[in-house]
A and B are shown apart, each in its own frame.
Chain A
Amino acid sequence: MKFIHIFLIVATILNFNFLKADEIKTENKIAKNLRCLICQGQSVYDSDSEFAISLKLVIKNKIQEGLSEEQIYSFLKMKYGEWILYDPVFNRNTYFLWLLPILIFLAGGAIIIKKFYNKK
């Protein structure tokens, strides 16, 4: 009986550690996807500016409050604008940016297929 108790306690503690590790993982992931607005060419994760330090703390608090990654991104987008996100959002201004590689890929594929069949 005592053994089971100890086992349960150890198991719970280990589980907490996993949770914590997951939190830190998402925290870092989010910070890496954010542009440090007052630095040049650095993500929030890389920066040690006062702004980035506070922002990392906010991310940590939001995760603990139970917000999802998407919710945190949209929260920061609301506060700081789209520029804070490294991934440009798909909208009227950026659809060309997103679709151009696909178009080029398709055009290239068409040329290759055409050549291939012509040879035959």
Chain B
Amino acid sequence: MKSKFIPLILILIFLITFVIFFKGLKNSNIYTPDTNLKKEVPSFELKSFENDSIVISEKIFKDNDYYFMNIWASWCIPCKEEHGFLMKLKKDDRIKLIGFNYKDNLKNASSFLKDLGNPYDIIVSDKDGTASIEWGAYGVPESFLVYQNKIIKRFIGPINNEDLLEIQKIIR
């Protein structure tokens, strides 16, 4: 009886392990963060980009308006690529663009906007990057679509034409 029992257990263990590993084969091992989230907008108090006045998040994000919060920096190369699409998005007056100037210096950032145009309605500067962490951001460029004080969509990396069409579809 004993000799029958042990091989059976061994086969069972083997089968279970096989199934687990076989299932694991099909799982993607690239971590992709959730982009469709319904999270509250984190509140922040940051310095305005143009002058030293303090900007409070509650005063920016109002109900029933769409906001596109874009984290950017002049040292970030993909941001340049993205900038054209932001300028296109600016033409749409149903959405307001909020710029989050990430770990940048004023001089470089100003000349960046001078060269490529300024798509933003409001710019705040996040000097040490801590406010971006509150948003759950990974780095630059990154954007959040905000509606009724909730983040409804997030774009990691530069936005492209497809993203632009998607945004226009959402805000329509």
Could you tell me if A58 and B133 are in contact, using CB atoms closer than 8 angstroms? Answer: yes
CB distance from A36 to the nearest CB of B (A): 10
CB distance from A28 to the nearest CB of B (A): 18
Interface contact tally, CB-CB below 8 A: 40
In this assembly, does A68 line the interface, its C-beta being within 8 Å of a C-beta of chain B?
no
Could you tell me if B33 and A54 are in contact, using CB atoms closer than 8 angstroms? Answer: no
CB-CB < 8 A to A49: which residues of B? 139
Interface string of A29-57 (1 = CB under 8 A from B): 00000000110000000000111011101
Task: Name the segment of B57-65, B90-98, B124-132 touching the other chain.
Answer: B124-132
Could you tell me if B134 and A79 are in contact, using CB atoms closer than 8 angstroms? Answer: yes
Cβ-closest chain B residue relative to A76: B133
Interface string of B39-70 (1 = CB under 8 A from A): 00000000000000000000000000000000
Interface residues on A, range: 10 to 19
A37 to B31, CA, bound (A): 9
Cβ-closest chain A residue relative to B33: A81
In this assembly, does A61 line the interface, its C-beta being within 8 Å of a C-beta of chain B?
yes
CB distance from B18 to the nearest CB of A (A): 15
**Quick one: which of A54, A57, A81, A96 contacts B34, CB cutoff 8 A?**
A81
CB-CB < 8 A to B140: which residues of A? 50
Could you tell me if B130 and A58 are in contact, using CB atoms closer than 8 angstroms? Answer: yes
Residues of chain A whose beta carbon lies under 8 Å from any beta carbon of chain B = 37-38, 49-51, 53-55, 57-58, 61, 79-81, 83, 96
A–B pairs, 19, beta carbons within 8 Å: A37-B31, A38-B138, A38-B139, A49-B139, A50-B103, A50-B129, A50-B140, A51-B139, A54-B103, A54-B128, A54-B129, A57-B128, A57-B129, A57-B130, A58-B130, A61-B130, A81-B34, A83-B33, A96-B20
